[in-house]
Amino acid sequence: LLKALGASASTRIYLAGGQPFGGEEAVRPLLSEFPKLYNKTSLAMAGEIEQFEHQPSVMAALDYIVCLKSQVFMANHGGNMQRAMQ
């Protein structure tokens, strides 16, 4: 679908939310086509995100801010992220 919409291997994609169902193994096929696949953990510097791990509202806010700046974002679970971005 991403390719049909014109996304290329250089498109930056942000994966919002927690760990995807199936973990890293589930994301591997997508990562092979789109190597610029990020999440909040991969974008943060060492030690930056740990202070917010037990604050779900802050973690959701971080996802929201990065999604606004992304070329493409995908929410990996149900919730309000999709509605908030409309």
CA–CA distance, 43 with 14 (Å, rounded to integer): 10
- Please state the domain count of the chain: 1
CA distances from 32 to 8, 26, 49, 74 (A): 12, 11, 26, 16
Domain assignment present for 2: no
pTM: predicted TM-score of the whole model, two decimal places: 0.75
| pLDDT higher than 60, residue 66 | yes
Helix (H) or strand (E) holding 72: strand 72-75
Domain assignment present for 53: yes
Domain assignment present for 43: yes
**How many residues comprise the chain?**
86
Taking residues 53-76, report their average pLDDT: 87
Q: Which domain holds residue 29?
A: 13-85
